[in-house]
Amino acid sequence: MQRKAILATILALGVAALGCSSGAPVDVQSELSDQPLPEFSLQDLDGALFTNGDLDGKVALINFWATWCGPCKIEMPWFVDFQRKYKDQGFTVLAISLDEGGWDPVRAFAEEMEFNFPVALGGDPVSEDFGGIYVLPTTLIVDRSGKIAFRHTGLVPKAKYETEIEALL
**37 pLDDT higher than 50:** yes
CATH class of 3-168: alpha beta
pLDDT band, very low/low/confident/very high, at 32 (cuts 50, 70, 90): low
Percent of the chain with pLDDT over 90: 69
DSSP designation for 20:
T
What pLDDT sits at residue 13?
37
> Nearest Cα to 43, choosing from 87, 90, 91, 107?
107
pTM value surpassing 0.85:
no
- The neighbour count for residue 64, using CB atoms within 10 Å, is 24
Name the average pLDDT for the chain.
85
What pLDDT sits at residue 28?
53
* 110-121 residue pLDDT tens: 999 999 999 999
Domain ranges for the chain: 3-168
For residues 71 and 6, which has the higher predicted lDDT (pLDDT)?
71
> Nearest Cα to 117, choosing from 39, 69, 154, 65?
65
Q: Mean pLDDT over residues 94-119, rounded?
A: 95
**8 pLDDT higher than 80:** no
Helix 70-86 crosses helix 158-168 at what angle (to 10 degrees)? 30
Determine what percent of the chain falls in helix, strand and coil, rounding each to the nearest 5.
Answer: 40, 30, 30
